[in-house]
Amino acid sequence: MKPSWNRREWLKSVGAFAAGTALASPALKRIMKEPLDDPLDRPFPSLDRPLTAIIAGAGNRGNTYAGYSLKFPLDLKIVGFAEPIPFRRNRFAQKYGIDLRNQFTTWEEIFKVPKFADVIIITTPDHLHYGPAMEALKMGYDILLEKPIAQTWQQCTDIMNLASKKKSIVAICHVLRYAPFFRKIKEVIDSGLLGRLVSVQLMEPVEHIHMSHSFVRGNWRNTAESNPMLLAKSCHDLDLLYWLIGKPCRRVSSFGSLTWFTKEHAPTGSTARCTDGCAAEKECPYSALKIYYQRRTWLHHFDLPAEGDQGPTILHLLQTGPYGRCVYHCDNDVVDHQVVMLEFDEAITAAFSMEAFTSYGGRRIRIMGSMGDIVGDENDLIATNFKTDEVIRSNVKEYASLVSGHGGGDYGLVRDFLRAVSEREPKQLLTTVQEAMESHLIGFRAEESRIEGRIVGVRA
Ligand SMILES: NC(=O)c1ccc[n+]([C@@H]2O[C@H](COP(=O)([O-])OP(=O)(O)OC[C@H]3O[C@@H](n4cnc5c(N)ncnc54)[C@H](O)[C@@H]3O)[C@@H](O)[C@H]2O)c1
């Protein structure tokens, strides 16, 4: 078990707590390298039984969170679920040993029977968050709810208000707040060692194949079926900016569009599917045959047999399912590049950029303070002390154990959620629905700005 550090006391002891304190470079070096306390190592109240959970939507994320119960069976037990796809339903039921009467086809059925678990984990597609969240709250469930909260600001507000009225604990899966890389940056900013925070730049390089998989062919391609890109993908980034800066956002402006993945850019001889004998397939970077069949990448939304040759099933899914479609002949409408300019209280500025056309993933961040800066890429952090010119480097592996997805964030969030529920204490959570409202508000306002072509006051 890693030592647990009391950051505030330690910073006081080295005389570096107040913002603007002169840079003590040993303190900066220590904070950059020091192990982070791990939510999975913190004492967990011993319960006389594990908390019980129902999963709504046994897809990729549903299985991720359910996986926690296999690793920590004393904390969590999955006792029911809803999933319309028979293949996924059978696989999930077997893996978690779910009683037949607690296996449902759609989320609505969960609420036709009396409450039978402590919590519900909502991992349905974006347009199916509002319905199950509202029903679950009415029945007194606490909720782990995937982001984005819902599809409109009004729906988000309804969920938050009902959660407050019912005193339910609702955690939103902003898992990056739990990722050690961003927690380390937050520590450094909050220590005051960078002086006064002046500005932040954050870039999300989506990576071009990821873009084609999720936002052209896949689940998040279409605003009506999911959300605008800023909410569907980048609400994590807006949440990170708000959390790291720690102040309300005043104004936003945004530009962006869908420029490339449209019918006008379809190469001559292209066909509706890559498997239809497309004349451009061999040279196309987005060839579904290359991505899914030859390289066997990006298969986490494919329902494949666990054993034997998966090739024939992949080919069949490419001929019949969404992922075999030509990227220039889809029903996508979400942007492939977008920038957002943000002004926070105390004149702190931020610039965010979501980019589809990169060869790499992994967020890039630059924090600018009056006495120092940080540059990072989700692995390496480089801090510079302006007074001494000292440059301190650290890597996420030096200060964290990474036991789950999103740099260890996934299970950290689940653990804090369970702790908050068992102690009836939402303060245990970094990402309550109340806290997540700010990034969603920024997202909806920025989208207004992009569409209407004007600067928008966040609370106007
Ligand atoms: N926190 C994160 O970093 C993160 C990452 C990826 C996705 N997400 C969010 O998680 C959610 C799920 O994404 P995913 O990647 O797991 O998608 P997915 O498609 O793999 O899983 C969703 C599941 O819900 C099921 N479903 C559809 N209709 C249903 C209904 N009426 N009742 C019950 N289940 C139903 C689908 O069949 C599917 O199995 C989305 O809201 C997405 O935006 C969050």
Query: Percentage of residues in the chain with pLDDT exceeding 70?
Result: 94
Cβ–ligand 1 distance for 147 under 6 Å, the answer yes
Structure token pair of residue 368: 């600018």
- Asked if 172 and 246 touch (Cβ cutoff 8 Å), the reply is no
Q: What is the mean pLDDT of residues 360-370?
A: 97
Position 225 confidence tier, pLDDT thresholds 50, 70, 90: confident
Among 7, 8, 123, CA closest to 54:
123
Give me the pLDDT at residue 17, please.
40
C-alpha–C-alpha distance, residues 67 and 75, integer Å: 12
Q: How far is the CA of 105 from the centre of ligand 1 (A)?
A: 14
Q: Which residues pair with 392 in a beta bridge?
A: 383
pTM over 0.75: yes
As to burial, measured by CB atoms within 10 angstroms (0-12 exposed, 13-18 middle, 19+ buried), residue 391 is exposed
Torsion of CA 241, 246, 251, 256, to 10 degrees: 0
* ω into 180 cis (within 30 of 0): no
The CB of 85 under 6 Å from ligand 1? The reply is yes
Q: What is the pLDDT of residues 78-91, one digit of tens each?
A: 999 999 999 999 99
Name the pLDDT band for 403 (thresholds 50, 70, 90). confident
Task: Give the number of the atom of ligand 1 that is nearest the alpha carbon of residue 82.
Answer: 33
Please give the distance, rounded to the nearest whole angstrom, from the Cα atom of residue 198 to the centre of ligand 1.
37
Task: Please indicate whether residue 131, judged by its CB atom, sits closer than 6 Å to ligand 1.
Answer: no
33: enclosing H helix or E strand = helix 25-33
106 CB near ligand 1 (under 6 Å): yes
Please give the Cα distance from 263 to 409 (Å, whole number).
38
- In 192-310, where does DSSP find H-type helix? 208-210, 229-232, 235-245, 288
Q: Among 332-346, 389-403, 428-442, which is the least confidently predicted range?
A: 389-403
| Residue 94 confidence (pLDDT) above 70 | yes
Which atom of ligand 1 is nearest the CA belonging to 107?
32
Q: How far is the CA of 412 from the centre of ligand 1 (A)?
A: 20
Residue with token string 């897809």: 59
441 Cα–ligand 1 center, Å: 22
Ligand 1 mean position, distance from CA 126 (Å): 7
* Both structure tokens of 235: 């609400």
Closest Cα to atom 32 of ligand 1:
106
| HSE-up (13 A, CA, CB side) for residue 133 | 33
DSSP-derived pairing of the beta strands 197-205 and 119-122:
unpaired
- Kindly give the distance from the C-alpha atom of residue 62 to the centroid of ligand 1, in angstroms, as a whole number: 7
Residue to substitute in 85, 121, 124 for testing ligand 1 pocket (most ligand atoms within 8 angstroms of CB): 124
Q: How far is the CA of 209 from the centre of ligand 1 (A)?
A: 20
Decide whether any atom of ligand 1 lies within 6 Å of the 60 Cβ.
Answer: yes
Long-range Cβ contact pairs of 418-421 (< 8 A, separation 24 or more): 418/44, 418/51, 418/75, 418/76, 418/119, 419/42, 419/44, 419/45, 420/169, 420/171, 421/51, 421/118, 421/119, 421/142, 421/169
CA angle 157, 160, 161 (to 5 degrees): 85
Q: What is the pLDDT of residues 281-340, one digit of tens each?
A: 999 999 999 999 999 999 999 999 988 999 999 999 999 999 999 999 999 999 999 999
Q: Is the CB of 127 under 6 A from ligand 1?
A: no
DSSP string, 439-455: HHHHHHHHHHHHHHTS-
Within a 10 A sphere around the Cβ of 166, how many other Cβ atoms?
Answer: 16
- pLDDT at position 255 is 98
pLDDT digits (tens, 9 = 90+) for 4-63: 444 444 444 433 443 444 444 578 889 999 988 877 777 776 677 899 999 999 999 999
DSSP string, 123-184: -S-GGGSHHHHHHHHHTT-EEEEPSS--SSHHHHHHHHHHHHHHT--EEE--GGGGSHHHHH
Tokens of 134: 């509202």
CB-based contact 416:429 (threshold 8 Å)? yes
**Residues 367-379 pLDDT 10s:** 999 999 999 999 9
Q: Which residue has the tokens 């993908």?
A: 233
Strand partners, 365: 202, 376
Phi-psi region of 362 (alpha: psi -120 to 50; beta: other; left: phi over 0): left
Q: For ligand 1, what atom is nearest to the CA of residue 129?
A: 41
Q: Where are the alpha helices (DSSP H) in 321-391?
A: none
Given this model, what pLDDT does residue 37 score? 82
CB of 263 within 8 A of CB of 346?
A: no
